[in-house]
Amino acid sequence: MKIIPAILPQSYRGITLGVEKVHDVLDTVQIDFVDGHVAHTRTWLFNNKDSEHFSAIEREDEGMPYWDTMNYEFDLMVKNPLEKMDMFIAMGPSKVIFHIGTFEQGVMLAYLEQLPQIVRETIAIGMAINLDTDPSAVAPYLEYIDTIQCMGIRDIGYQGRPFDEVVLEQIKKTRELYPEITISVDGGVTLENAQALRDAGADSLVVGSAIFRSPEPYATIKEFQSI
């Protein structure tokens, strides 16, 4: 079971502190970006904090924390995310996850079709679906993506929200429709429900508060990995 810690950063320092807690034991983290439209909160890059760090990254004077050993997956809870893709690509993600419903299908397909080969080879693409999204909505993008991320909470864009068991049936349906694709679950993931998520068909778990609010993050990660 692959475990991916999720950081919901209010500042650039929040990313640094989060990565410092897990970089010795894992090589991938997910950064959640929220613009205030898809959810009623704003994270770093959208809250007018620490903009100087992004400018330094854009100039290549600075990299993301532990950029040489850490892979960054970006979860874009952002309206019309393609309008900001140059900004996100400049930060060097290994994967970008778009949320169904935040973009127009035709615009997204046109974008994916014209992606340069170098981008295709360096940045994987995922699609996220909410609890009330029919997994068949992912079908038009299937040739371009490697991951479907099922959200385990209704109030996305926040950490510590209650887990909704509806996602278990959604995972099963997604697995039936797309038997070869990687299924990830994000939101409400705990040690108590991790086995049920695995049994339903999840390949990886994106974990926020269960890791970062743990008094022993490393031990908690090892417990998750043992499932």
Rounded Cα distance, 155 and 65, in Å: 28
2-225: CATH class = alpha beta
**What is the β-pairing status of strands 124-129 and 28-34?**
unpaired
Q: What is the pLDDT of residue 118?
A: 87
Residue 98: strand pairing partners: 76, 127
Q: What is the pLDDT of residue 13?
A: 95
Residue 165 to residues 9, 24, 115, 156, Cα–Cα distance (Å): 26, 32, 36, 15
User: Where along the chain do its domains lie?
Assistant: 2-225
Within a 13 Å sphere around the CA of 17, how many CA atoms are in the beta-carbon half? 10
- Assessment of whether the complete model's pTM goes beyond 0.85: yes
Structural contact between residues 211 and 4, judged by C-beta atoms closer than 8 angstroms: no
Rounded Cα distance, 7 and 199, in Å: 25
Q: What is the pLDDT of residue 80?
A: 98
Q: What is the pLDDT of residue 190?
A: 98
Which residue ranges in the chain fall short of pLDDT 50?
Answer: none
